[in-house]
Amino acid sequence: MAPQERSRLPGPEAVRSAEEIGRALDQMLLLAELSASEADLDRETLQRTVERLKDKIDRAADRIEGPIR
């Protein structure tokens, strides 16, 4: 790999942040599936959890510096 190409790769913090975002998105998908089910769930609690996950994603995204290619 040429040195110029290496500089475009994400650093370890960006990779960790991207992994954290991926986990939060997986959790959000699970919550969406639960919400869409016929189960008797507290949808307000589900919504608050989704909002917390969204905030977590925003914080993780803010830690990523520069473009990831």
Q: What pLDDT shows up at residue 29?
A: 97
Hey, where are the domains in the chain?
Answer: 23-69
Backbone Cα Rg of the chain: 16
pLDDT per position as a tens digit, 14-26: 899 999 999 999 9
Q: What pLDDT shows up at residue 42?
A: 93
What is the Cα–Cα distance from 65 to 61, expressed in whole angstroms? 9
What is the Cα–Cα distance from 49 to 52, expressed in whole angstroms? 5
Residue 49 has pLDDT above 90, yes or no: yes
Are 53 and 60 spatial neighbours (Cβ–Cβ below 8 Å)? no
